[in-house]
């Protein structure tokens, strides 16, 4: 076992176990045991397990790709700044500014390549597992995980339309196997081309379709299928099944992304807006009006509406501007004592139950309002008539203040 084999052996072991467990699960639901379609479908299950595990990286790839698209204007500005400067200091400054821009926006051009880079070891591990089925079945090679001599013989005998999983186009003399392998190579290249084309043509803004990066993408769009077509003649049938299934999964993911999460400024975004407009028109809703209403009604999260300040009316002196405050027992002021010894205001009405006044504290009180001969007889007149007495310890009116001392009342002018 060489250096590459030592590195790939743990991945080969994981791939072998996934295929074996998938085969056991398929036999439980009715597929025949031993050589048969269950081993072919176990490769499909292997693809599904791997791609589900890579879904977080797929969304990270989308985020990185969108970030790179949004950075294109700033990247072009940096390139234009150092366009005619070829000295090493300028090249280093350009690289430093570019990396600072990536760090500022938390994006990386290599993040979009991460899913492909992580699938490459799995691809080569599966290639080595399928390529070693023959030696393992004859005992010339050690088992890989659960794939021992008998299991390797069953996998090797399993066929896809008459072609064994271990057959290679350049190493088989079976014409039917060659035809099946050629069809699989064609399907692998076609799905790869279609996936890349819909990503490039529909889900990229017009600005990203110009310049050196766009030319590189076009070269990859047309060049990669040819590269895989020429290299596919050296792949076993099982690897071709794996790669074709992977391309179909990628096609479905791209279709979902383009339809649900198109890139800003792309053709896919324009088509999505047209679909939403047609749906809104079918429901009798004007999309522009709905957008305006939403913008007016909705408030930004995290803000609360501040209460409006209300100007409170200042208390007026009892009896109006020219009235004399009520006096009793030589004590004057708004908080004069009554004959019963309780603190009360001449402007207060009878107290009921809980001590609340039934008369507005700001209502002026004069001689005519008291019903007695003078301003100082308000409380005694109420007692003589047998009216309700002020409660002991009654709280003062909120609109009146306790005078700082005896003497002349504090003059306050009403508004």
The domain ranges of the chain are 1-71+107-157, 161-286
Q: Is the pLDDT of residue 301 over 60?
A: no
Q: Is the pLDDT of residue 247 over 60?
A: yes
Task: Classify each residue of 227-253 as buried b or exposed e, where b means 16 or more C-beta atoms within 10 Å of its C-beta.
Answer: ebeeebeebbbbbbbbbbbbbbbbbeb
Query: Which residue would you say has higher pLDDT here, 80 or 105?
Result: 80
Q: What percent of the chain has pLDDT over 70?
A: 64
Residue 184 confidence class, pLDDT cut points 50, 70, 90: very high
Q: Is the pLDDT of residue 186 over 90?
A: yes
The structure's pTM equals: 0.60
Residues facing residue 357 across a β-bridge: 351
Q: Is the pLDDT of residue 305 over 50?
A: yes
pLDDT digits 0-9 by tens, 5-62: 788 888 989 989 999 999 999 999 988 887 788 889 999 999 999 889 888 887 777 7
**Under 8 Å CB-to-CB from 400, ≥6 apart: which residues?**
315, 334, 335, 345, 347, 361
Q: Can you give the pLDDT at residue 297?
A: 36
Q: Can you give the pLDDT at residue 348?
A: 43
Please provide the average confidence, as pLDDT, over all residues in the chain. Answer: 71
Q: How far apart are CA 97 and CA 4, in angstroms?
A: 38
* 67-95 average pLDDT score: 82
Highest mean pLDDT among 42-46, 62-66, 80-84, 268-272: 42-46
* 325-332 average pLDDT score: 44
Length of the chain: 415
Q: Is the pLDDT of residue 352 over 50?
A: no
């Amino acid at each position: 076992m060489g250096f590459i084999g030592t590195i790939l052996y743990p991945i080969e072991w994981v791939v072998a176990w996934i295929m074996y467990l998938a085969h056991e699960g398929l036999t439980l639901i009715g597929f025949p045991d031993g050589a048969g379609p269950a081993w072919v479908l176990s490769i499909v299950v292997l693809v599904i397990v791997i791609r589900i595990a890579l879904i977080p990286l797929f969304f990270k790839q989308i985020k990185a790709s969108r970030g790179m698209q949004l950075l294109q204007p700033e990247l072009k500005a940096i390139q234009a700044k150092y366009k005619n400067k070829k000295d090493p200091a300028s090249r280093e400054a350009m690289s430093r500014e570019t990396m600072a821009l990536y760090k500022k926006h938390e994006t990386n051009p290599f993040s979009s390549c991460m899913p492909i880079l992580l699938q490459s070891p799995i691809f080569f591990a599966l290639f080595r597992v399928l390529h070693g089925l023959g030696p393992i079945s004859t005992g010339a090679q050690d088992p890989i995980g659960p794939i021992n001599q008998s299991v390797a013989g069953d996998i090797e005998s399993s066929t896809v339309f008459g072609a064994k999983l271990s057959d290679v186009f350049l190493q088989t003399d079976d014409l039917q196997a060659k035809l099946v392998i050629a069809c699989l190579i064609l399907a692998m290249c076609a799905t790869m081309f279609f996936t890349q084309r819909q990503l490039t043509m529909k889900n990229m803004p017009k600005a990203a379709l110009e310049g050196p990066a766009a030319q590189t993408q076009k070269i990859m769009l047309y060049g990669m299928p040819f590269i895989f077509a020429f290299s596919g003649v050296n792949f076993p049938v099982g690897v071709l099944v794996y790669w074709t299934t992977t391309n179909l999964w990628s096609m479905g993911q791209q279709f979902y992304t383009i339809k649900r999460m198109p890139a800003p400024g792309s053709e896919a975004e324009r088509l999505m807006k047209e679909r939403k407009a047609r749906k809104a028109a079918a429901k009798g809703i004007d999309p522009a009006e709905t957008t305006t209403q939403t913008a007016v009604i909705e408030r930004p999260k995290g803000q609360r509406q501040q209460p409006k300040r209300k100007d409170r009316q200042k208390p007026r002196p009892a009896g109006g501007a020219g009235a004399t405050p009520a006096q009793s027992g030589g004590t004057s002021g708004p908080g004069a004592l009554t004959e019963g010894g309780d603190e009360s205001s001449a402007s207060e009405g009878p107290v009921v139950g809980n001590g609340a006044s039934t008369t507005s504290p700001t209502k002026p009180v004069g001689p005519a309002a008291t019903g007695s001969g003078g301003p100082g007889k308000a409380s005694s007149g109420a007692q003589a008539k047998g009216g309700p007495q002020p409660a002991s310890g009654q709280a003062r009116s909120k609109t009146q203040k306790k005078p700082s001392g005896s003497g002349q009342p504090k003059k306050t002018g009403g508004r």
